[in-house]
Structure 1
Amino acid sequence: MVEIRVPTLGESVTEATIGRWLKKEGDQVAADEPVVELETDKVSVEVPAPAAGVLSKIAAKEGDTVELGALLGEIGESSGAAVNGNAAGDEGGGVQPTDEQLTTAAASPGEGTIKESATAEGEEVEILAPSSGESVTEADVGEWLVKVGDYVKIDEPVVTLETDKAAVDVPAPVSGVLKEIVAKEGETVSVGAVLGIITSGEAAAGSTAKETKPQAAASQVQQTNTELSPAPRRIVEQNRLDPSNIEGTGRGGRITKGDALKALEKAGAASSEPAKAKAPVAPRELGEREERVKMSRLRQTIARRLKESQETAAQLTTFNDVDMTAVMQARSKYKDLFEKKHGVKLGFMSFFVKAAIQALKEVPEVNAEIDGTDIIYKNHYDIGIAVGTDKGLVVPVVRDADEKNLAQIEKEIGDFGRRARDGQLKLEEMQGGTFTITNGGVYGSLMSTPILNMPQSGILGMHRIEKRPVVINDEIKIRPMMYLALTYDHRIVDGKGAVTFLVRIKENLEDPQRLLLDL
């Protein structure tokens, strides 16, 4: 059994939405054949099959939001291997996750919940805490769904574990009677810890087996948002939260530890803002010429990320203007020769990339980022170029732009633009940028205040070129002028550095020979 998991989705991307499954359960798939499409705020990504076989299980449904490393589905052998990895005669295969388990946590083959593979009549089998994601090393025991003495069937959920990201139902590794509960509700356990012990076999009374599931189901039905398991209860009580205002995403609507932490975060944000009247819960009525359209998950993610950027960084924007006469004259004079030699048109963006790199070398904090209480200075210049598409804004990165000439930069930007509009950009092409340039001028913008692409500390906004009267040597001249905007993180970049950065770009563009002379 081979697992299909969520791949790395970019430096600042931690989750994605299942767009659509390209295959259905039971379909034959070839190795590297796309099987499912993921959507992030930056791009749509097709996840290929890691091996050839039959798509035996779809663990994450269309519309679900999944985190990095989450289980999407499973591929079995073409010969008809059992879907759950528990074919008749299998004496020790790892137990695969059930549909009720969250995709961020699964006991994969080779690291299952059975410590000893033997499952003979009366054998004691340990229930182990499964891995709950790449960055999760421990969890809280939320609720035991069965009690000591209850009969459980293989793969039946017996206990819930809670992390700050998700609630996970741990299934019984074998059929039998729950002999002992080792980890009590509210305890914090590490990956691989023993949660309980099951005595395998059918020795228990049949009536017990029949009662087990209804009892667990009843407890789930009776569970309300005000009946908390120990992990979220501590957070609620310590921070005096109202559980009735917390939306539960756990099994049966239970409030998980992650729900409580999210509510605490919202409460902290609300307390830091001026008191406001609560918005009405019910949506307003529409007029005769209005229509309501639900935001796509992609647009919701973009909105959330932009807001997070504003709330995280101390963003400030400073402006300057640049006389584009020299660049336009150079472009007009050499554009035909340039295109004939290099096979690409000479645009303005390559000049701005080169000018920005020279400024970044003089003001290195604009090419840095904050990491906790440290500053990471980057001695490489990977420039992100914002590209607008029908699905939203994407920011592919020109790697080592300081080592490339104007033609190489123009070719790369042109290629990015074409593939972005066709949805063919690769994830790795949008990771690791150190500084971003966005050109609102192509849409006619005169001036704007761009929002930082976190964790970067600077973004340069270009705007439309407009002829304006300016004073040159005490004479009024009509010149093609462009407003430049630099939004920067004031936590790391001071006003002096920001102004110096823009002045250097202005000088380099108004006298392009400075770029050739590295001045």
Structure 2
Amino acid sequence: MTEVRVPTLGESVTEATVATWFKKPGDVVAVDEMLCELETDKVTVEVPSPVAGKLEEIVAAEGETVGVDALLANISEGDGGSKAAPKGRESAKDEAAASQAAREAADGDTGASSSGGSGEKVDVMVPTLGESVTEATVSTWFKKVGDTVAQDEMLCELETDKVSVEVPAPAAGTLSEILAAEGSTVEAKGKLAVVTAGAGAAASAPAQESAPAPAAASPASGKDVEDAPSAKKAMAEAGLSRDQVTGSGRDGRVMKEDVAKALAAGTSAAAAPQGKEAPRAPSAPDDEAREERVRMTRLKQTMARRLKEAQDTAAILTTFNEVDMTEVMAIRNEYKDAFEKKHGVRMGFMSFFTKAACHALKEIPEVNAEIDGTDVIYKNYVHMGMAAGTPTGLVVPVIKNADSLSFADIEKEVSRLGKKARDGKLTMSDMTGGTFTISNGGVYGSLMTAPILNPPQSGILGLAKIQDRPVALNGEVVIRPMMYISLSYDHRLIDGKGAVTFLVRVKEMMEDPRRLLMDL
């Protein structure tokens, strides 16, 4: 008898809830076939079968809370499992589809295969959205009703308060019904669409392949891509067809700026028919005709609400200082090539500011604390948030345990999380748990900044751009690379002395980086 136990769930995660069992007692299982799914505070964990055999007993039922290494089930080993093992990791619904197809074949029912419409109906459900996320908005459908889909092919994209979630097809077949249109709000575990699985999908594929190709193929390589509404309007006004514009969005989606590029390249002249006058722009368009109404993404809506809540709840105050960046820039210029060669990542300024902030937070712990009702929770660790602007809105990925990382480790995390943010691939675990945040408005040219708190945090460090300015040094006026820095803080918890001391410590360590090595 082989025991199936709860795997390691991740740092600081000690328990999980049994969400779904894909097998029942008596079922034959293959090695690595998915048995059940666990939900933790941060992620969803799939539990595979450690051996081939038969599932004899389920110890932890759906809905039960289990700890790390707790017993989930027992499997009796045997060669029956290998005989019945599926070729891949199929879900319970995929197996049911295969069984149905086998039964129909055994009964001699060939009508289902030829018609392509009598396969098993497989529901496309909203996936697990993450901790405390109960609903999402359907952003984009990549397929339309009647399209043939492969298993795990992306059907649609959902937007939650924090991240975008792609929904794959649970089975190969035909998308027979879309229940949640673009722009609609769906709840967790809600139904999105229906896929008709079975041989019908395979039968319809050759017919589609043999069909003549359209005269002008879209850049989306066969996908039905919905262009941006503003782009459609701009193409109509300019007299451009879809074929004359190259889309730069997801799957070749045309954006408004793509239309502007096509016009700048002279595409509009080619679009005008020979011997006919090009379409004239309206002589006096009204204001409404030149306006564009675009719905805010859920991410922007959430950020707007949270920032307003921070202003309404916290007593936000900001203190300023300035830093002479001469020494840090000298160290960076001297060692950046050797640093990149050894660690495979460029040396930036964020690792210096992160290290300096971590040292200052140890001296002024209330800046790294939070208010919970009438209690104050002091954090004896630093999970450093890095505010970053993306095309979809402001996000704050978190570098976990930044106080224990080296300069190279910090730079690697900044690079990794920055890339995920730009690609829209951040997960819930990437953006939760922050205890303090750094916001670098200097990358956009800001001379001075006073950022708003990221609740429930009590402090945020604002960085501005580096600019050569005249300063007095040893009785002489010299030109130095200077940066204004700020600390926005919750005055309910942090007094003026603590806030100013924190900022002064950051200034001292940046102006004399040797203090970082000696923990001064």
Q: Which TM bucket (shorter chain)?
A: 0.5 to 0.7
List alignment gaps of at least 5 residues for structure 2.
1-121, 200-284
2:409 aligns with: 408
CA distance in 1, matches of 2:495, 2:171: 52
Amino acid at match of 2:384: I
- Partners of 2:381 and 2:401 within 8 A in 1: yes
Decide which moves more: 370-379 or 338-347: 370-379
- Partners of 1:56 and 1:75 within 8 A in 2: yes
Q: How does 1:457-468 map to 2 (within 5 A)?
A: 457-468=458-469
Give the 3-state SS of the residue equivalent to 1:447 in structure 2.
Answer: coil
CA distance in 2, matches of 1:391, 1:75: 29
1:366 aligns with 2:367: yes
Q: CA deviation at 1:58?
A: 4.2
Q: CA deviation at 1:43?
A: 3.7
Q: 1:374 to 1:23 in 2, by over 3 A?
A: farther
Deviations 1:160-194 (A, max 9, x none): xxxxxxxxxxxxxxxxxxxxxxxxxxxxxxxxxxx
CA distance in 1, matches of 2:180, 2:289: 35
CA distance in 2, matches of 1:490, 1:15: 34
2:129 aligns with: 8
- Partners of 2:180 and 2:193 within 8 A in 1: no
CA distance in 2, matches of 1:398, 1:327: 22
Q: 1:325 to 1:391 in 2, by over 3 A?
A: same
- Partners of 1:31 and 1:51 within 8 A in 2: yes
CA distance in 2, matches of 1:384, 1:7: 24
Say how many residue pairs are matched: 313
- Partners of 1:368 and 1:378 within 8 A in 2: yes
The match for 1:18 among 130, 134, 138 is 138
CA distance in 1, matches of 2:159, 2:346: 33
Amino acid at match of 1:410: E
CA distance in 1, matches of 2:288, 2:169: 47
CA distance in 1, matches of 2:484, 2:392: 27
1:296 aligns with: 295
- Partners of 1:60 and 1:73 within 8 A in 2: yes
Q: 1:403 to 1:329 in 2, by over 3 A?
A: same
Q: How does 1:479-498 map to 2 (within 5 A)?
A: 479-498=480-499
- Partners of 1:6 and 1:72 within 8 A in 2: no
1:327 aligns with: 328
Give the 3-state SS of the residue equivalent to 1:345 in structure 2.
Answer: coil
Q: CA deviation at 1:462?
A: 0.4
Give the 3-state SS of the residue equivalent to 1:493 in structure 2.
Answer: coil
Give the 3-state SS of the residue equivalent to 2:454 in structure 1.
Answer: coil
CA distance in 1, matches of 2:165, 2:155: 11
CA distance in 2, matches of 1:53, 1:496: 66
Give the 3-state SS of the residue equivalent to 2:183 in structure 1.
Answer: coil
Q: 1:368 to 1:287 in 2, by over 3 A?
A: farther
- Partners of 2:323 and 2:510 within 8 A in 1: yes
1:432 aligns with: 433
Q: 1:492 to 1:70 in 2, by over 3 A?
A: farther
Q: CA deviation at 1:391?
A: 2.0
Q: CA deviation at 1:331?
A: 0.7
- Partners of 2:172 and 2:198 within 8 A in 1: no
- Partners of 1:10 and 1:428 within 8 A in 2: no
CA distance in 2, matches of 1:74, 1:427: 25
2:190 aligns with: 71
Q: 1:322 to 1:22 in 2, by over 3 A?
A: same
CA distance in 2, matches of 1:288, 1:365: 51
2:240 aligns with: none
Q: 1:340 to 1:61 in 2, by over 3 A?
A: same
Q: CA deviation at 1:464?
A: 0.6
CA distance in 1, matches of 2:357, 2:464: 15
1:169 aligns with: none
Give the 3-state SS of the residue equivalent to 1:293 in structure 2.
Answer: coil
1:509 aligns with: 510
Q: 1:30 to 1:400 in 2, by over 3 A?
A: farther
2:180 aligns with: 60
Deviations 1:254-299 (A, max 9, x none): xxxxxxxxxxxxxxxxxxxxxxxxxxxxxxxx96598322243214
- Partners of 2:171 and 2:195 within 8 A in 1: no
CA distance in 2, matches of 1:329, 1:409: 20
Give the 3-state SS of the residue equivalent to 1:499 in structure 2.
Answer: helix
1:340 aligns with: 341
Q: CA deviation at 1:421?
A: 2.0
Deviations 1:37-78 (A, max 9, x none): 1124544321345667776664433212345x2514365773
1:177 aligns with: none
CA distance in 1, matches of 2:322, 2:289: 41
Q: CA deviation at 1:370?
A: 2.5
- Partners of 2:129 and 2:160 within 8 A in 1: no
Q: 1:505 to 1:7 in 2, by over 3 A?
A: same
1:35 aligns with 2:155: yes
Q: 1:361 to 1:31 in 2, by over 3 A?
A: farther
Deviations 1:89-135 (A, max 9, x none): xxxxxxxxxxxxxxxxxxxxxxxxxxxxxxxxxxxxxxxxxxxxxxx
Amino acid at match of 2:158: L
1:263 aligns with: none
Amino acid at match of 2:419: R
Give the 3-state SS of the residue equivalent to 2:304 in structure 1.
Answer: helix
Give the 3-state SS of the residue equivalent to 1:356 in structure 2.
Answer: helix
CA distance in 2, matches of 1:79, 1:25: 16
CA distance in 2, matches of 1:290, 1:482: 44
CA RMSD of aligned residues (A): 3.0
CA distance in 2, matches of 1:459, 1:22: 39
- Partners of 2:123 and 2:191 within 8 A in 1: no
Q: 1:31 to 1:53 in 2, by over 3 A?
A: same
Amino acid at match of 1:4: M
Q: 1:19 to 1:400 in 2, by over 3 A?
A: same
Q: 1:57 to 1:9 in 2, by over 3 A?
A: farther
CA distance in 2, matches of 1:361, 1:412: 21
Normalised by the length of structure 1, the TM-score is 0.54
Give the 3-state SS of the residue equivalent to 1:516 in structure 2.
Answer: helix
- Partners of 1:347 and 1:410 within 8 A in 2: yes
Q: 1:323 to 1:36 in 2, by over 3 A?
A: same
Decide which moves more: 435-444 or 19-28: 19-28
